[in-house]
Amino acid sequence: MNRPDIDQGHFVAIFGSGIAGAEAAFQLSKRGIYSVLFEQHALPYGKIEEGLPKWHVKLRNQEEQKIDQKLTMPGVFYVPKTKFGKDLTLADVGKWGFSAVLLAVGAWNDRPLPVPGIDDFIGRGFYYQNSFVSWFNHNHEKNYDGTSCEISDNAIVIGGGLASIDVAKILMLETTRMALEKRGIPADLFSLERDGIPETLKQHKLNFRQLGLKGCVLFYRRRLIDMPLTPIPDNADKNRLEKVFLLRKRILDNFLNKYLFRVEECHNPVDKIVENGRLRGIVFQKSQIRDGKLYPAGDFVRVRSPLVISSIGSIPERIHEIPVEGDMLSIEDPVSGRIEGYDNIFAVGNAVTGRGNIRESLTHSRETTRQIVRNYLNREDERFSEYVRRREQHTAGTVNRMADSLVMSPLLSRDKISHILMKIQKRQEKVGYSGNYSQWIQEKRPIRLEELD
């Protein structure tokens, strides 16, 4: 480990090194605050690596380079293969003596599909989005040892957001590609995604019907105009709402025309169809929307399918000693992201928002980290406050009302900083990480599909 010149100050433990965790480390580094990022995987990047479909080559590379830059800032340390709650517990972290803890663990668990007994058929005609997309992203790798998934025509996708559209695209692109290859026509995933299915087939004087495919169907429990494909502004009037709904329709129509999946609105999943130990479809109940609320309409529809994929959202993994409210972490102060019942444990990014959007995760992390620095770490010691101000740009906003209730945190001594650095180094050595971040990334980065011959 290349240790900086040790001085008294603050040291923050960050769990998770995706968009939110990296941004938190960047903000802390700018203010002269040490931080260490504990990452459960070998690589950082979070959902960019696992949840962003692999055809997004430029976006993936761009976002991962940004994270690399932030994780090599002064005073930032990285510890891979270390999962919060398993390899390091909250009690362990407390013994290390950190000034504060930031949970940027993301929302890695799929929201359970509310159909009784459906999880018994995972891998037998049923998958959740996160494992399915991760498999898609890595199944070309020679040494891939993760979950193996099947691809089937006429699949059911349950969802409604952009992530569910990605799932539908994967199914359509892969079934089309396989159908073309059966005809002896080599199909390139990237060209197929870029040009769209109809245009690609046109180049080979084919149409979708000639391939013998039905295509997948995306089922949404609300109206199509309710699909969150673009946000509704706060305090939007009727005219503004109509414009948003029109834009949502245009976005959806573009996906439908380009990738040829179908979509059914107002279908709420209520039961399963099982045959010979496999899931063979879903029973939906028609729904209706009144005053923005979902109500059953009474009619039931049995839809048979060889494959069902649920894409109804992601939630944080339950961590012992961290309180939850419903599916999300229990936040006592939404401005700072402070966890209920703790003075110096905070949450940022998708662990709080429950969304997988890169921009939202980044924005929440940036603002939360600034609040913690301004209102928690630098309130007691004026010398540290002045030290921080010399190294940070002016940021907007004022100290919010929660600051007065936070327990003041003294600066850590040089000895305490050295103790934490020693603990970090021991953990790095245990997982086989030398401390050379660039070398580690180069060694662990998997081969990309676009790099294969």
Helix axes 57-71, 437-444, angle to 10 degrees: 150
Q: Residue 154 pLDDT more than 60? A: yes
CA separation for the pair 90, 88 (Å, rounded): 7
The pair of three-digit structure tokens given for residue 214, joined into one six-digit string:
């039905």
The average confidence (pLDDT) of the chain is 86
pLDDT tens per residue across span 278-296: 999 999 999 999 988 999 9
Six-digit token pair at 8?
Answer: 């008294």
Q: In the CATH hierarchy, which fold is given to the domain comprising 11-108+316-451?
A: Rossmann fold (3.40.50)
Q: Return the CATH number of the domain spanning residue range 110-310.
A: 3.50.50.60
Quickly tell me which residue has 């959007």 as its tokens: 357
CB 96 within 8 A of CB 90: no
> How many C-alpha atoms does 374 have within 13 Å on its Cβ side?
21
What is the reported pLDDT for 377?
45
Residues of the chain with CATH 3.50.50.60: 110-310
Beta bridge partners of 278: 275
**How does residue 405 score in pLDDT terms, banded at 50, 70 and 90?**
very low
What is the mean pLDDT of the segment spanning 212-229? 97
Check pLDDT > 70 for residue 398. Answer: no
pLDDT (tens digit per residue) in 406-431: 235 678 899 999 999 999 999 999 99
pLDDT score for 105: 87
Q: What per-residue confidence (pLDDT) applies to 301?
A: 97
Q: Is the pLDDT of residue 434 over 90?
A: yes
Where in the chain are all domains bearing CATH 3.40.50.720? 11-108+316-451
- pLDDT average, residue stretch 30-34: 83
Rounded alpha-carbon distances, angstroms, from residue 361 to 48, 365, 369, 432? 12, 6, 12, 30
Q: For the whole model, what pTM was predicted?
A: 0.86
Q: Give Cβ neighbours of residue 103 (< 8 Å, ≥ 6 apart).
A: 15, 16, 84, 319, 322, 329, 339, 345, 346, 347, 348, 351
Counting every residue written for the chain, the total comes to 453
Residue 354 has pLDDT above 70, yes or no: no
Query: What is the structure's pLDDT at 363?
Result: 58
Reported as a single tens digit per residue, the pLDDT across 325-349 is 887 888 887 777 778 888 888 887 7
